Structures are given as structure tokens and as C-alpha cells.
Amino acid sequence: MKRVLSLAAIEIFVWLVLLLVTFSISKGAIEISFGSATLPERVATQTARLLTSGLLILLWLVAWKKVADLYLCRMLSRHAASA
């Protein structure tokens, strides 16, 4: 039961960070605009939005990995200590 709760907590953490990232994308990345009158302007706008969003998603993945690594290391050291 305890292990399920720990892993579910990681899931909820990942979900909350995802919401934070989407909020940041909506308030930051999506507001980027280089105009939309011509095709190059539209391409530049969407590329900039995508790259910024991609960077934020990368941060989400890093946070995700860090929390899983932390859980794994703590559990492994706990078992090594008790062995």
C-alpha cells in the first residue's frame, strides 16, 4: 500500500508540474508574436512558440526524472542500510 501511495504521489507531482508548465505556456509562450500577416511571420511566431513550449516541457521532464531518481536512491539506500 505504501509503495502505491509513493508512486501515486509522484504521478500527482508530475501532473501538477504539467499544469504549471501549461499555465506558463499559456501566459508566456503563446503570447509570443512576430505578426501573422505573411507566411514567414506566421512561421516565425509558431516556431518561437513551439521552441519556448518545448523548453518548458523539457523542464517538466527534468523535474519528473529528478523526483523518480530521488525516490529510487532513497529506497535503495534504505534497503542497503537494513541489509
Partner 1 sequence: MLDAYSAVSLGITFVVAFAATFLATPTVAKKMSSLGITGVDIHKTAKNKVPEMCGLAIIFGLVIGTFAEYLMMPVAWRQALAFIGTVLIAGAIGVVDDLHPLGARTKPLLTALACVPILVLGTYVPYAEVPLYGPVRLTIVYPILVPIAIAVTSNSVNMMDVMNGSMPGTVSIVAFTVTMILLWAGGTRTAILTGGLLGATLAFYYFNRFPSRVFGGDTGSLSVGAAIGALAILGRIEAVAIVALIPQIMNAFYGLSSVRGLRERREILQRPTRLLESGLLQASAEKGAPVTLARLILVAGPLGEKEVVRIMMVLTAVSSLLAALTYSITVFVK
**Footprint on this chain of partner 1 (rule: CB under 8 A):** 2-4, 6-8, 10-12, 14-15, 18-19, 22-23, 25-26, 30, 42-43, 46-47, 49-50, 61, 64-65, 68-69, 71-72, 75-76, 79-80
Sign of the CA dihedral with 71 first, then 74, 80, and 83 last: negative
Rounded to the nearest whole angstrom, what is the least distance from the CB of residue 69 to partner 1 in the complex?
7
Q: Indicate the burial class of 21 (C-beta count within 10 angstroms; 0-12, 13-18, 19 or more).
A: buried
Rounded to the nearest whole angstrom, what is the least distance from the CB of residue 42 to partner 1 in the complex?
7
**Cα separation, 11 vs 17, whole angstroms:** 10
Rounded to the nearest whole angstrom, what is the least distance from the CB of residue 68 to partner 1 in the complex?
6
